[in-house]
Amino acid sequence: MRRRRSRAGPAPAQLDEPVPVARVAATADLHFRHHDVGRLAPQLERMQGCADLLLVAGDLTEEGDPWEAALVARELRAAGVPVLAVLGNHDYMQGRARQVAAAMESNGVRVLRGEGAVVEVGTVRIGIAGVTGSGGGFDAADEAESGPMGEVVAFTTEEALRLETTLGGLDTDFRIALMHYAPCAGTLAGEPFDLYPFLGSRLLGDAIDRAGADLALHGHAHAGRPEGTTPGGTPVRNVSLPVIGQPFRVFRLASERLSRRRSVSLTVA
């Protein structure tokens, strides 16, 4: 006897698919000096087995010395996972950013300067778009068209465009925006309000919202708070070392696809 097919049809394939998961460790504002050699590596060894990659949101060095950059990159290798970073304002201090980036690259740390990178963990693809960013504030009144702040806003506008373009070009399971300066004011609470224009810019947050991201990471605001969101609702995390109070923090991204909708949950591991 022939069985009748159900009119409802088969269950959506998405329900049977494994849920993509990424474990992302992050930190920032290491401000590494020559005499710090040997201090960071033992702390990062604990990362093995609990994270798939490590992202560093700038200020890896204290004075922007290429030798400092080489030393901190060697320490970061102890994490045992791919390490990607952006430069912070301290990494530019000596005006040798290219040499700083080259020193880190030659010692195993990928430096993103307006570029994207894809890290594959099993069948999961994690896309990272990285820029330093800059200031400008979160109010239109802060965005002066002339004077020193006008130059800052002009540079931030360029950085935001790079971030948006790079993020938008990532075809991956997860997309992460990595920068040094804050893309929202929420993670700056605790800092003096008059410093906000020097700590981040709404232009970065707007770029993230237009391109789309699952997570945005930044540093720089040592006295800020750990959590915030862009105006469009993208989770933002301040991973500055003084804020997280530990060598790194691990974020777990899990993606569930039901019907045509995609939902990403973010938890701290």
User: What does the angle CA 257 – CA 262 – CA 268 come to, to the nearest 5 degrees?
Assistant: 95
Could you give the strand order of the β-sheet that contains 174-178, starting from the edge strand earlier in sequence? 115-121, 124-130, 174-178, 215-218, 235-238, 227-229
CA 241/CA 26 separation, integer angstroms: 10
Please state whether beta strands 109-111 and 115-121 pair in parallel, antiparallel, or not at all (unpaired).
unpaired
pLDDT of residue 150: 81
pLDDT of residue 269: 65
pLDDT of residue 145: 53
Residue at 246: amino acid letter: Q
> Was domain 20-268 assigned CATH 3.60.21.10?
yes
Q: Can you give the three-state secondary structure of 116-172, one letter per residue?
A: EEEEEECCEEEEEEECCCCCCECCHHHCCCCHHHHHHHHHHHHHHHHHHHHHHCCCC
pLDDT of residue 28: 98
pLDDT of residue 257: 57
Residue at 210: amino acid letter: R
CA 140/CA 145 separation, integer angstroms: 11
Distance between terminal CA atoms of the chain? Answer: 54
Of 241, 266, 227, nearest to 22 by C-alpha is: 266
pLDDT tens for each residue of the chain, 269 residues long: 444 333 444 444 444 456 789 999 999 999 999 999 999 999 999 898 899 999 999 999 999 999 999 999 999 999 999 999 999 999 999 999 999 999 999 999 999 999 999 999 989 999 999 999 999 999 865 555 545 678 888 999 999 999 999 999 999 999 999 999 999 999 999 999 999 999 999 999 999 999 999 999 999 999 999 999 999 999 999 999 999 999 999 999 998 754 445 667 888 76
pLDDT of residue 147: 55
Give the pair of three-digit tokens for residue 232. 């469009």
User: Which pTM was predicted?
Assistant: 0.90
pLDDT of residue 15: 47
> Residue 63: helix, strand or coil by DSSP?
coil
Q: How far is CA 240 from CA 10, 22, 88, 146, 222, in A?
A: 48, 21, 11, 31, 6
pLDDT of residue 12: 45
197, 68, 95, 99 alpha-carbon torsion, rounded to 10°: -120
Q: Which residues contact 267 (CB under 8 A, 6 or more apart)?
A: 251, 252, 254
Domain map of the chain by residue range? 20-268
